[in-house]
Amino acid sequence: MDRRLVGRDFLTLADFTAEELTYLLDVADRLKADPLGTRSLVGKNLALLFEKPSMRTRVSFEVGMNQLGGHAIVLSPEQVQLGKRESICDVARVLSRYVDGIMVRTFAHTIVEELAEYADVPVINGLTDLLHPCQVLADLMTIREKKGRLAGIKLTYLGDGNNMANSLMLGGAIMGLAVTIATAPGCEPPAEISTRAEQLAAEYGGSVRIVHDPVAAVRGADVLYTDVWASMGQEAEAELKRAALRPYQLNSELVALAAPDCLVMHCLPAHYGEEITAEVGWGVHSVIYDQAENRLHAQKAILHELLG
């Protein structure tokens, strides 16, 4: 256990160095190799706050805490109603008296930031509209497993400039990947995220670029990544997104332009026939289920280090 990580929050990958993220990936590998060999969280409790539902997030965190010897307590939106029924400040301070960590999956990123400000225990970002750092840690773990390295890997993301694109830019920049975001005009990631990713890339040796040509973007790519075109809570924009992003569908024609041994990735849930075809999502290049499994191991590493 690295004592420098104990008690820290996990809100964004940008808060961690390449050395720290590499260490977390190494811990995740070790925990994956011996799932029940580390019982570091016996007697520890984790609160799971859900403003947005998720099968993978709930199951992976609950199973992860159980395997590490701890216990997870699931709190539904109706039970908490962050900022409505009860102030975020009060929720953070009260839960800090009961539990050893708080995982939150919500809408506005300011909610996890405010929880972290007032909580006396680590706060873990299970997803916000802005960022999805737990998923990208699992993605980096998966790429390293399959490719044997991260530095120099060419990753192309196709689709909406959403929380996945944002976290892939940040995590990729830190770990030395060459990240390309291919998206439609008007669907680009927020300027503050791309600017921060460029700063991190300059510091750690990665690269980040945003383009509008999907064909040029995928040529020679080692990893092809996509996500749903309209995230949860953005259903009103769905039709507009579908029309704008149709040329960015991850299909066999685009896969054929990437490296022969490229990986196809998707964080799930997938809308087959929209952002990705079933042929590609279930094809020989796909590692989507390895990604899903690695959510468990990567998040166990986070829990083991932050709550230990």
Find the catalytic residue in 56, 295, 297, 304: 295
Find the catalytic residue in 9, 67, 109, 132: 132
Whole-angstrom distance, CA of residue 219 vs CA of residue 253: 11
CB 245 within 8 A of CB 159: yes
Tokens encoding 79: 């039970």
- Identify whether 67 is a catalytic site residue: no
- Identify whether 267 is a catalytic site residue: yes
- Identify whether 71 is a catalytic site residue: no
CB 215 within 8 A of CB 256: no
Encode the chain in three state secondary structure: CCCCCCCCCECCHHHCCHHHHHHHHHHHHHHHHCCCCCCCCCCCEEEEEECCCCHHHHHHHHHHHHHCCCEEEEECHHHHCECCCECHHHHHHHHHHHCCEEEEECCCHHHHHHHHHHCCCCEEEEECCCCCHHHHHHHHHHHHHHHCCCCCCEEEEECCCCHHHHHHHHHHHHCCCEEEEECCCCCCCCHHHHHHHHHHHHHHCCEEEEECCHHHHHCCCCEEEECCCCCCCCHHHHHHHHHHHHHHCECHHHHCCCCCCCEEEECCCCCECCCECHHHHCCCCECHHHHHHHHHHHHHHHHHHHHC
- Identify whether 227 is a catalytic site residue: yes
225 bridge partner residues: 157, 265
Q: Which amino acid is at 129?
A: D
- Identify whether 135 is a catalytic site residue: yes
Find the catalytic residue in 227, 249, 297, 304: 227
Find the catalytic residue in 135, 249, 291, 299: 135
Find the catalytic residue in 9, 56, 100, 105: 105
Tokens encoding 142: 């998966």
Tokens encoding 137: 């840690």
Query: Which residue's entry shows tokens 């939106």?
Result: 77
- Identify whether 187 is a catalytic site residue: no
Find the catalytic residue in 134, 187, 262, 267: 267
Which residues belong to the active site? 105, 132, 135, 227, 267, 295
